[in-house]
Amino acid sequence: MAEELNPFKIAQAQFDEAAKKLGLEAPMCELLRWPRREYKFTIPVKMDNGKTKVFHGYRVQYNDARGPNKGGIRWHPDETIDTVRALAAWMTWKCSVVDIPLGGGKGGVTCNPKELSEGEKERLARGWMRVIARELGEHRDCPAPDVYTTPQIMAWMMDEYEAIVGRSHPAVITGKPLELGGSQGRGDATARGGIFTVREACKILKIDPAKATYAIQGFGNAGQFAATLHKEILGGGKLVAVSDSSGGIYSAAGFDPHDLVKWKLEKGSVTTYPKAEKKISNEELLELPVDVLYPSALENVITKENAAKIKCKVSCELANGPTTPDADVILHKAGIHVIPDFLANAGGVTVSYFEQVQGTYNYYWKLPDVQKQLDEKMTSAYHAVYDMHKKQNVHMRLAAYMVAVKRVADAVRLRGWV
């Protein structure tokens, strides 16, 4: 039978398995397997050629039992209500697994940002905010960056929101530029948080991270920072392969991550990097026998078709949804240690939470304080999940779900919803 690849159906199937293991009652299951609210809207934008183009936008508020909804906005050609629903569900479990007092949400626009000018992006950002502003706010729902959305886009959105409500409101959105109330350490937080979990996994698995080989699939914000921070935080390691949407490159001797990031930022793709030994495909990269693999692009790259060929020891999922449920079972049986997405990449939203707190108090923290608190959150979340994995003898993703879903269910019960 063909494998289910609709991200929301996958998110529901993952939840169902955890709910069954936790013995949740039927109404609780029904409540938690669906978003509480969802908005689908149109955004008319005046394009540079003088014509109006109508974009389709989304915001899904999945669950706010533990606190206001929180989650990024993706601008992607393949965005649909179901990708946004899945990502909103994952945000709910993500905020819960790191134990921050927030719920889950996600937004999106179906568009190809590579085809938009700066002016068109600004009008699209402001247009998105104009439609949905009344449903947002730091006590209601707080967006942030995600695939193809940037601190600049957050700045335009905050500015539009403030113009609508008529007062300063830095905590309405996170991932802003530092000059406008962004937090120190937000830029690399997703990758940094993931590497803290790899550090803990390496201790348990007795892998020396300073000697480990690693490969990165996807070279956007998270992938680029993972490349440099792996060495910086873990005291070494050899980056042998990297890919982006145009393809990948390999070097047995290892790449200089800083040089490679510079190339990517200047030239747009790693595939033309002159110091590569050979070109490889994204699929080949995933199958390399490395110690640590960082899937850092999009959903459904490790499926039942290729899972048996994956040879890493640790898969640290900086992307959301890279592994399908069938693939999870195959990786688990093969003894591959998966640090599941909503744990591995929770560093981003954790520092977003710090940014929201700082914005609300109008008092800003120093970088070492942000990084120390991030380390504490990620380390304790990793061990909570690892302990559940050992105690219940379930794979790491199911363990993460069990930790996260239980906390949300407890909040729902205490509120008297179920």
Q: Which helix (H) or strand (E) holds 93?
A: helix 81-97
The packing angle between helices 396-415 and 81-97, to 10°, is 80
Tokens coding 211: 């000697």
Nearby residues of 346 by Cβ (< 8 Å), 6 or more positions away: 94, 95, 97, 98, 193, 377, 378, 381
Q: Which of 59, 66, 70, 238 binds ligand GLU (CB under 6 A)?
A: 70
Site membership for ligand GLU, residue 63 (CB under 6 A)? no
Q: Is 324 annotated in some ligand binding site?
A: no
Site membership for ligand GLU, residue 320 (CB under 6 A)? yes
Least distance (Å) from ligand GLU to the CB of residue 340?
13
The length of the chain, given as a count of residues:
418
Catalytic residue among 21, 46, 51, 106: 106
Site membership for ligand GLU, residue 345 (CB under 6 A)? yes
Do residues 372 and 191 lie in contact, with contact meaning Cβ atoms separated by under 8 Å? Answer: no
Least distance (Å) from ligand GLU to the CB of residue 124?
18
* Angle made by CA atoms 157, 109, 37, in degrees to the nearest 5: 85
- Per CB under 6 A, contacts with ligand GLU among 358-397 are none
DSSP three-state, residue 385: helix
Q: Which residue has the tokens 């219940």?
A: 392
**Contact range with ligand GLU by CB under 6 A, out of 64-72, 129-137, 395-403, 406-414:** 64-72
Site membership for ligand GLU, residue 71 (CB under 6 A)? yes
Is 333 a residue of the active site?
no
Do residues 217 and 294 lie in contact, with contact meaning Cβ atoms separated by under 8 Å? Answer: yes
> Which of 12/221 has CB closer to ligand GLU?
221
Residue type, 81: I
Residue type, 54: V
The answer to whether the Cα torsion of 343, 348, 350, 352 is positive or negative is: negative
> Which of 190/315 has CB closer to ligand GLU?
190
- Per CB under 6 A, contacts with ligand GLU among 22-51 are none
Q: Is 112 annotated in some ligand binding site?
A: no
- Per CB under 6 A, contacts with ligand GLU among 116-175 are 144, 146, 174-175
Least distance (Å) from ligand GLU to the CB of residue 348?
4
**Contact range with ligand GLU by CB under 6 A, out of 14-22, 204-212, 345-353, 372-380:** 345-353
Least distance (Å) from ligand GLU to the CB of residue 358?
14
Q: Which of 86, 349, 398, 408 binds ligand GLU (CB under 6 A)?
A: 349
Q: Is 352 annotated in some ligand binding site?
A: yes
Nearby residues of 176 by Cβ (< 8 Å), 6 or more positions away: 151, 154, 155, 158, 170, 182, 355
**Contact range with ligand GLU by CB under 6 A, out of 65-73, 245-253, 257-265, 374-382:** 65-73
Q: Which helix (H) or strand (E) holds 56?
A: strand 52-63
Burial group, residue 284, by CB count within 10 angstroms (0-12, 13-18, 19+)? middle
Site membership for ligand GLU, residue 72 (CB under 6 A)? yes
> Which of 71/359 has CB closer to ligand GLU?
71
Least distance (Å) from ligand GLU to the CB of residue 352?
3
List own/partner pairs for 257-260 with CB under 8 A and 24 or more apart: 257/227, 257/228, 257/230, 257/231, 258/228, 260/227
Least distance (Å) from ligand GLU to the CB of residue 342?
8
**Contact range with ligand GLU by CB under 6 A, out of 60-68, 69-77, 242-250, 257-265:** 69-77
Whole-angstrom distance, CA of residue 125 vs CA of residue 91: 21
Residues tagged in the binding site annotation for NAD(+): 190, 221
Residues that bind ligand GLU (CB under 6 A): 70-72, 94, 144, 146, 174-175, 320, 345, 348-349, 352
Residues tagged in the binding site annotation for substrate: 70, 94, 352
Q: Which residues are catalytic?
A: 106
